[in-house]
């Protein structure tokens, strides 16, 4: 479970930065706050519908050759770029403040203690919205998972190792690439709205 959520955070990171690998020709560099990009209607609340739409868009950005598949190479390139986007001070590591601001917005609270959480879902109360408190709990737990030596920072190596595990977790049929269906299922599972792949 812990491994899965770590992978989820990492994939999300990779997906958001996916366009950056080809930013010059395809899309501008993404904003630093994923939360604000998801909030399409600007009501300061991210709905599970907005969450799903955002991640479907990121899949398309990462799929550089537009063949409907995310290869390990595409996934890795996107994640490297994504790490650089999150690393606001460009010092080669992420601290919890940078991480929380990126995922939940600049005003997101930073927990006094980052710890493991057994059950991680974004929409914990199942009201169709991802509240600020839900966002903080989820991503703080994810930070704990990715920070494998628990020293309070995520290095590039830790991040890429977690992303490699994430790729394998998302690739449910183990065929070496991620389909849109697998990706959608994984993202909705983390939001708490998944329906099994048939």
What's the pLDDT tens digit per position in 108-136? 888 878 888 766 788 889 899 988 888 88
0.85 surpassed by pTM: no
pLDDT for residue 131: 86
pLDDT for residue 118: 67
Residues 137-190 have pLDDT tens digits of: 889 999 999 999 999 999 999 999 999 999 999 999 999 999 999 999 988 887
Q: Comparing 92 with 106, which gets the higher pLDDT?
A: 92
Locate all alpha helices (DSSP H) within the chain, ordered by sequence.
Answer: 2-17, 34-38, 48-62, 72-86, 96-104, 132-146, 156-170, 180-191
pLDDT of residue 20 exceeding 60, the answer is no
Question: What count of Cα atoms within 13 Å lies in the side-chain half-sphere of residue 73?
Answer: 2
Beta bridge partners of 47: 129
How many whole angstroms separate alpha carbon 145 and alpha carbon 148? 6
Q: Comparing 34 with 129, which gets the higher pLDDT?
A: 129
DSSP state for residue 39 in the 8-state scheme: -
On whether the CB atoms of residues 120 and 190 are closer than 8 A, the answer is yes
On whether the CB atoms of residues 130 and 123 are closer than 8 A, the answer is yes
pLDDT for residue 182: 95
Residues 6+ apart with CB under 8 A from 25: none
136: its two tokens: 């903080």
DSSP state for residue 173 in the 8-state scheme: T
pLDDT of residue 4 exceeding 60, the answer is no
Measured CA to CA in angstroms, residue 198 lies from 172, 182, 191 at distances of 12, 11, 19
């Amino acid at each position: 479970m812990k491994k899965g959520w770590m992978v989820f955070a990492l994939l999300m990171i990779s997906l958001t930065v996916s366009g950056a690998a080809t930013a010059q020709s395809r899309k501008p560099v993404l904003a630093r706050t994923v939360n604000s990009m998801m909030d399409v209607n600007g009501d300061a609340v991210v709905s599970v519908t907005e969450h799903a739409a955002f991640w479907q868009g990121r899949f398309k950005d990462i799929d550089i050759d537009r063949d409907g598949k995310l290869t390990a190479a595409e996934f890795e390139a996107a994640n490297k770029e994504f790490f650089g986007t999150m690393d606001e001070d460009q010092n080669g590591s992420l601290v919890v403040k940078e991480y929380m601001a990126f995922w939940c917005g600049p005003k997101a609270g930073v927990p006094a203690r980052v710890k493991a959480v057994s059950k991680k879902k974004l929409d914990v109360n199942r009201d169709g919205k991802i509240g600020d408190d839900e966002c903080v709990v989820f991503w703080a737990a994810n930070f704990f998972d990715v920070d494998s030596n628990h020293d309070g920072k995520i290095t590039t190596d830790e991040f890429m190792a977690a992303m490699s595990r994430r790729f394998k977790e998302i690739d449910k049929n183990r065929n070496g690439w991620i389909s849109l269906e697998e990706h959608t299922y994984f993202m909705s599972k983390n939001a708490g709205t998944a329906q099994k792949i048939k």
